[in-house]
Structure 1
Amino acid sequence: MFQHSLLNTNPQQLNLKAKLNSTYDRLYDLRERILGYPKLHEIFKRHNGFDLNLHDPWTYNEWVVHKILFARDPLLIQTTDKFAVRDYVRQKLGTKEAEEILIPIYHVSKIARDFPEELWQKEFFMKANHGSGTNKLVMPGADPHKTLQLAKAWLNSSYGQRRHEWAYRDIPRKIICEKVIRNEEGDIPMDIKFYCFYGKVKFILFFNGRFGKPSRAFTDPDLQLIHGVQSGIPDLEDIPSYSTHDKMIEIAETLSKPFVHARADFYSVGGKIYFGELTQYSGGGIEHFESYEINLALGLLWRPEYKNKSVWDCIQEASTKY
């Protein structure tokens, strides 16, 4: 019954649902703020193993939560929106350079009921622009009913509000159908994530096997391995070296310049760069670190007095001072 009603939801009903979501999210945020964010403190401690200090944050994860709760730059909304961020990329890089790295879009929908017939004959990534993790690889011959059902479920749901992720709340909801980028072997390419502070890349995450057996590695900008960052996924056997490495750093620093901290994600295939997304709340403040000391060290990078320091400087200071 739910599935049937979902597929027959009209645009006015979807818009009403989004407004109701937003109202509920605002009321939830207000109540929790008045109470001192007790549920957020509980979630944080459960994932990190230590108490959240919002008044004097030191660790990387505490700073992410601090940004979630207190940063209100409208650019956070635009750059979190997986569709609107494309205009931001054009503004920062210029149209010509931006179009070289933006992944082609086949279709954009506000109702997930108007996918063109020819779309079902090709593979595409279906994404919700107002969430994280709301993406699906759709292959030729996929069941349109199930695919549209999932898309409509995304449109009917807000994202991240249990942890007060403000930037997602009021994004005008859309479904994006995007070209699938594959590497020379025909696989989904490695995610390359540049962690930038004050407009400078300080460390990089290489993440492979998103749709298979995942593995990852953290490095500095010179590809020197950093141990003890986030846990739970095996290490990459080899650190990749791309001919586009320096150019990706240049673009990441340009896109992240307005923010104290932002993560810029790319793919590199055959000497060509593709833009993935800008992430403002990397890990949501709840991705567990193997080393508390590293969590502290990366937290130092948020502080303006450390903006000219390397990740190794911060690791050294954390090891001796804390």
Structure 2
Amino acid sequence: MKKKRISKTTKAFYIALSYVSPRLNTHLLFLKKFGRLPNLKNPQTLNEKLLKLKLEDFGKNELVRQCADKFRVRQYVKDCGLGHCLNELLAVYDSAEQIDWDSLPESFAMKWNFGCGYNLICPSKDALEVPAAKKMLEKWGREPFWAYFSELQYRGVHKKIIVEEYIGSEGGTPPKDYKFYCFNGNAYCVMVCVGREEGWPRFYFFDREFRLMRINRDSVNAPKDFSIPKPLGLSEAFQIADRLSQGFPFVRVDLYLTQRGVRFGEMTFTPAAALDNKRLPKTDLLFGSLIKSSVK
């Protein structure tokens, strides 16, 4: 079945609505995705609780805003005593025009700091078409990412392009990332993507002992004896996620497990813009029950 694409007019409508009323925009997006309005007065699910936090806390919570910023979060990681988990920072630019391509190494990872998906991974500079890369970065830099889904933690971020060391394989395969779902300073479980390279991604949740948790559709549909090898460094990664998530009702901490140890990826406060309909309803309730928030 062909995936339905959002028209430019519809996209522009929701962007404009975010500037007028993030709350109304949130209600309409939720209604479109789930066929009902969210309960933000007495939220129960993870989606609903994150939407409430997004609207009432994240936009003014300076620590959340710092950690959502892919450049400023580096200082937070250092403050947590985990600077050794950071990829080497090679350069920082305010615009694509400033990039000194000749000074960059043969391989690197480049990304904007104010959203997600704005990543340029370069395993070999010889194969990089610089004019096309620059044009793409400029396009991304003009986008009001926060306004697509009223993710207020990204609003007003001082936009920067950061360049970090490349940690993938020489053949261009990115390292496997592990997404830790953390509630009030405890990494409850980790989500792993399998089959992305082959074009059929499946997502599985595992507990701290790396036992499969059948709490989403892919896990429920997996064979009875389904398992994948427990990766080296997973226990350390859980501890790192615990430390980074201290003080937050919820945050997803993304880490890479490499041959050189655990490497920090990013911190995400509203996965899937808190409009995730791929979780099972009972899982959304379970995750929601784990959030202890002061926002009423």
TM-score normalised by the shorter chain: which range applies?
0.7 to 0.9
CA contact (8 A) 1:228 1:289 kept: no
Unaligned runs of 5+ in 2: 1-14
The equivalent residue for 1:160 is 146
CA contact (8 A) 1:120 1:144 kept: no
CA–CA separation in structure 2 for the residues paired with 1:41 and 1:197: 25
Root mean square deviation, CA, Å: 2.8
> How far is the alpha carbon of 1:86 from its aligned partner?
0.4
Q: Which moved more, 1:286-295 or 1:171-180?
A: 286-295
Is it true that 1:58 corresponds to 2:58 in the alignment? no
CA contact (8 A) 1:112 1:148 kept: yes
> How far is the alpha carbon of 1:273 from its aligned partner?
0.8
Evaluate the alpha carbon distance shift between residue 211 and residue 137 of structure 1 in structure 2; reply closer, same or farther with a 3 A threshold. Answer: farther
CA–CA separation in structure 1 for the residues paired with 2:189 and 2:232: 18
> How far is the alpha carbon of 1:285 from its aligned partner?
1.2
Written as runs of structure 1 = structure 2, the 5 A alignment for 1:12-27 is none
CA contact (8 A) 1:230 1:288 kept: no
The equivalent residue for 1:280 is 269
Matched positions, count: 273
CA contact (8 A) 2:17 2:25 kept: no
Indicate the percent of aligned positions where both proteins have the same amino acid: 26
CA contact (8 A) 1:243 1:271 kept: no
Letter of the 1:193 counterpart: K
CA contact (8 A) 2:208 2:235 kept: no
CA contact (8 A) 1:125 1:135 kept: yes
The equivalent residue for 2:286 is 297
The equivalent residue for 1:15 is none
Q: Which moved more, 1:199-208 or 1:180-189?
A: 180-189
CA–CA separation in structure 2 for the residues paired with 1:57 and 1:258: 20
CA–CA separation in structure 1 for the residues paired with 2:152 and 2:101: 36
The equivalent residue for 2:207 is 220
> How far is the alpha carbon of 1:197 from its aligned partner?
0.8
Evaluate the alpha carbon distance shift between residue 283 and residue 263 of structure 1 in structure 2; reply closer, same or farther with a 3 A threshold. Answer: same
Written as runs of structure 1 = structure 2, the 5 A alignment for 1:1-322 is 28-29=17-18, 31-32=20-21, 37-71=23-57, 72-93=60-81, 97-98=82-83, 100-119=84-103, 122-138=106-122, 139-140=124-125, 141-182=127-168, 187-208=173-194, 210=196, 212-213=198-199, 214-229=201-216, 238-270=227-259, 272-303=261-292
Q: Per residue, is there more helix in 1 or in 2?
A: 1
CA contact (8 A) 1:196 1:261 kept: yes
CA contact (8 A) 1:131 1:160 kept: yes
CA–CA separation in structure 2 for the residues paired with 1:271 and 1:116: 28
Evaluate the alpha carbon distance shift between residue 282 and residue 28 of structure 1 in structure 2; reply closer, same or farther with a 3 A threshold. Answer: same
Give SS of 1:137's match. Answer: strand
CA–CA separation in structure 2 for the residues paired with 1:167 and 1:209: 31
> How far is the alpha carbon of 1:119 from its aligned partner?
4.9
Give SS of 1:69's match. Answer: helix
Evaluate the alpha carbon distance shift between residue 142 and residue 120 of structure 1 in structure 2; reply closer, same or farther with a 3 A threshold. Answer: farther
CA contact (8 A) 1:231 1:290 kept: no
Q: Which moved more, 1:41-50 or 1:244-253?
A: 41-50
> How far is the alpha carbon of 1:303 from its aligned partner?
3.4
The equivalent residue for 2:10 is none
Unaligned runs of 5+ in 1: 1-24, 306-322
Post-superposition Cα deviations, 1:106-147, rounded to whole Å, max 9, x if no partner, equal: 221102123224356623222110111111223423111111
Post-superposition Cα deviations, 1:154-191, rounded to whole Å, max 9, x if no partner, equal: 22222121321111011110111222212598631211
> How far is the alpha carbon of 1:268 from its aligned partner?
0.7
